[in-house]
Amino acid sequence: MFKGSYVAIVTPFRNGKIDEKKFEELIEFQIKSGTNGIVPAGCTGEAATLSHEEQKHLMDLTVEIVNKRIQVVAGTGSNNTEEALELTKHAKKAHCDGALMITPYYNKPTPEGQYRHYEKIAKAVDIPIVLYNVPSRTGISMLPQTVARLSKIDNIMAIKEASGSLDQVSQILSLCDITVLSGDDSLTLPMMAIGAKGVVSVAANLIPKEVADMVNYFLEGKLDKAMKLHYKMMPVFKALFIETNPIPVKASMGLIGLLTPEWRLPLCPPVDETTEKLKKVLKEYGFKVNA
């Protein structure tokens, strides 16, 4: 069910509020560029500083704008199981195609606690669920054995794997047939080489066509073309994590005129050194960069 290039879309703000007009423009840009799915209210969408009402509104808005043209997989995770359940119920009500659920952060549950967290939500809400393993954000990683155990629940269908470990992906796929999506742009092609089916991409906010083309080339067996794009995009992939995501990607979008960047505290604009590095990478890629 989940395959291809999904964008972990940024949340544009204007004077501290969600800029709905710009959000619609960004979604249309993605659809026109061949992106397979929109992922609103995730880490890149600054979900940590969105209220629950704002998260729900983004789900509704995304589904309305997309209008069934591509998939919508809403970020519904929390370190509070009841909160994650509430958000996932809304994703179902909003007619999202799936829910992306980050592993509970900060309270660092045991493997058994992780299992029970996802099990409770999956059994309560009949919506396709994508697990999300990102230990750099959560402080804990999901064991491949836990993923395999969860994959036996019918509507747990995929995992966004952002541990940075190809060994982790290999172990998961050796234990079960869950769909793996890369959560690291720079590892998308290597992950697909060992069985992943696509990516939930940060870089696609900037270069959606190229990310989608790389994934599609691989799926079509055009490995040389996929590899050529991988190496072309690599400097962009790396630059977008010079500072905490989504600081660099929003700054970059501002530099090429896609939006006027604005963040919610505690995130803030990048330091001047980072901005200069981003300008250099974007210019070398071929973008016309605003001063």
Instruction: Please state the residue numbers annotated as binding site.
Output: 44, 200
Question: Which amino acid makes up residue 23?
Answer: F
Rg of the chain on CA atoms, in Å: 18
How buried is 277 (Cβ within 10 angstroms: 0-12 exposed, 13-18 middle, 19+ buried)?
middle
Helix-helix angle 247-255:272-285, to 10 degrees: 60
Alpha carbons 257 and 261: distance in angstroms, whole number: 10
SS3 of residue 161 by DSSP: strand
88: nearest Cα among 122, 113, 42: 122
Binding-site positions for pyruvate: 44, 200
Residues noted as catalytic: 132, 160
Using DSSP's 3-state secondary structure scheme, residue 75 falls into strand
In angstroms, the Cα distances linking 224 to 4, 55, 69, 182, 228 are 18, 40, 30, 20, 6
Six token digits for residue 164: 């940075």
Strands (E), the chain: 4-8, 13-14, 17-18, 37-39, 71-75, 98-102, 129-133, 156-161, 179-182, 198-201
**Whether 6 contacts 35, CB under 8 Å:** yes
